[in-house]
Amino acid sequence: MDDLTNEQILEILSDAERLLPVARGELYLPLLKGRILGNLFFEPSTRTRMSFETAMKRLGGDVVNLGDVKTSSVVKGETLFDTIQMVDGYTDIIAMRHPRQGAAQYAQDAAQVPILNGGDGAGHHPTQTMLDLFTIQQAHGRLDGLKVVLAGDLRYGRTVHSLSHALVRFGCDLVFASPDLLRMPEEIVSDLRAHGANVVETEDLYGSMAEADVVYMTRIQKERFADEDEYARCAGAYKLHARHLADMKQDMIVMHPLPRVDEIDPSVDVTRHARYFEQAFNGVVARMALLCRLLGVKVPADVLAEGGAL
C-alpha cells in the first residue's frame, strides 16, 4: 500500500467503477490486447487467481499460469529468483502469491516487469485491499471517517494487515476484535498509532459492532499455526449469526475476503448487511484497474463510448 498515494488509490477506484460493465461482460473493451499476465501462485487460491485471470481476459489480454506447484520446476529445486527471472521474459506483468513473507518484494528485485503481490505469507495482500476499499466506497459513498471493525485472525490474516493500513490513511476509526492469541501484531498497531490512528483492541466482537459502518470478518488461518493445539484453542472463536445483527446500523455492511469456514453463519447471507459475494466480484474490476495502471494503459473517461458489443 505504501507504493500508492491516497490520490492514486482513489483514481484506481474510479477507474474500477467505470470498468464495471466490462467486468459484467456487457461491453467489450480490449484495452490489454497483446499483453500477457503471468499468474504465479505458490499457495492455494481461488478468487485472487481467477479474478486476475478474468480481469485480464475481459480486457482482451492473455494469461499464462505456473499451474500446480507440484508439476512445475519448483519441485526440482529451482529458486524463486530463477523462476521469476525466467517468467519475466515470458510476460508483461506478474501476479504472485507465496507462503513466505516478503516474497513479492524479493521477486520485484529479480524482475523488470511489475509484480502484483497476491499475498505473501502472513504479510500483506494489497490487491485485496483495493477491492475491499472499492466495496466500502460503493456501500457508503466514501472512505473517510468510517468506523470499521476488523475481526478474527488479525495475527496471521494478511488481508487485515494491508486493509488497516489503508483505512487509517483515510481517517477511519478501527476496532480490532480477536482472541488474545490472534491480536494484530504489536508493530502494526504501533505503526498505525504513530500515523494518528484511533484504534481499539478487544476480544468482545459482538459488543463492539453497535456503531460500526463495516464489520470485516476473517478466517482463522489454520495453515499458519506452528502448533495444532493453539489452533484448536482459537477455532470457532467468532460465529456471526443473523441474530447478532438485529440492532446494527441499517447501512452497516458485513465483509469477508473469503473463503469462510464457520465465522459467518449462512443466516447472514440473506440479510441486507451481507456484502461478501459482491466483494469477491469486485476483485475483477479492482484488478482490471490495477493491471491497466501498471501496464501504462489509460482507462477511458467514457468507457461506454469506447467499448463495443460482445
Taking CB under 6 A as the criterion, the residue among 39, 54, 83, 128 binding ligand NCD is 128
The cell numbers describing 134, all together, are 472499492
- 70 is a catalytic site residue: no
Fill in the per-residue mask, 248 to 287: x = in contact with ligand NCD (CB under 6 A), - = not in contact. ---------xx-----------------------------
Pairing of strands 173-177, 62-65: unpaired
Q: How far is the CB of 246 from ligand NCD (least distance, A)?
A: 27
Cα angle 176, 179, 185; round to 5: 55
Instruction: Assess whether 33 carries a catalytic annotation.
Output: no
235 interacts with ligand NCD by CB under 6 A: no
Residue appearing with cell numbers 475476503: 257
Q: Which residue has the cell 491516497?
A: 6
Identified binder of ligand NCD from the candidate list 39, 129, 137, 159, rule CB under 6 A? 159
Tell me the three-class secondary structure of 43-96, residue by residue.
CCCCHHHHHHHHHHHHCCCEEEECCCHHHCHHHHCCCHHHHHHHHHHHCCEEEE
Rounded least distance, CB 182 to ligand NCD, Å: 13
Hey, which residues does 255 pair with through a beta bridge?
216
Q: Is 125 in the site for ligand NCD (CB under 6 A)?
A: yes
Q: What type of residue is 164?
A: S
Measured CA angle at 135 (ends 199, 19), to 5 deg: 145
Tell me how far, at minimum, the Cβ of 44 lies from ligand NCD, in Å.
Answer: 8
Residue in 18, 35, 47, 244 binding ligand NCD, rule: CB under 6 A: 47
Catalytic residue among 35, 49, 58, 125: 125
Terminal CA-CA length for the chain: 35
> Torsions phi, psi of 158, nearest 5?
-75, -30
Q: How many residues make contact with ligand NCD (CB under 6 A)?
A: 10
Site for ligand NCD in 65-84 (CB under 6 A): none
Contact residues for ligand NCD (CB under 6 A)? 47-48, 119, 125, 128, 158-159, 219, 257-258
Q: Which residues are annotated as catalytic?
A: 47-48, 76, 97, 125
